[in-house]
Amino acid sequence: MKKNTLVALSAALLFASTPALQAADSRSENWQTHCSVCHGDDGKGQTEQGKKKKARNLTNAKWQDKIDDARIVKSITKGHDEMPPFGKKLTEPEIKALAAEVRSLATKPS
């Protein structure tokens, strides 16, 4: 039984490590639930709702450089402009994890 479990786990890890699946699973459940509708999976804000609400392109390196983590956390917690607040829906660790995801979206300047 242990051998079968090990084989299944190894196969699952191998399958999950393919690039397509990594891209699909690269964002957390909270990102998918609360952020991707406007910002998209890629953070660029080019979804239908994102365009309507003028969602920020979170991948923009210049914006990423000038904004600090506290401001990102505040935006997630309290909302701003068209973005609703998530402070009552998410815990502090979840908000900090989303802020880290926002940071992970930064594109490197060419």
Taking only the tens place, the pLDDT of each residue in 21-71 is 343 345 799 999 999 999 999 999 999 999 999 999 999 999 999 999 999
Q: What's domain 28-104's superfamily in CATH?
A: Cytochrome c-like domain (1.10.760.10)
User: What is the percent of the chain with per-residue pLDDT over 70, rounded to a whole number?
Assistant: 74
Rounded Cα distance, 5 and 69, in Å: 41
Rounded Cα distance, 33 and 36, in Å: 7
Asked if 30 and 90 count as a contact pair (C-beta separation under 8 A), the reply is: yes
Q: Quickly state the pLDDT bin for 16 (edges 50, 70, 90).
A: very low
How many residues make up the chain in this entry? 110
Q: Which residues contact 101 (CB under 8 A, 6 or more apart)?
A: 27, 28, 31, 35
* Cα dihedral 77, 49, 55, 28 in deg (nearest 10): 50
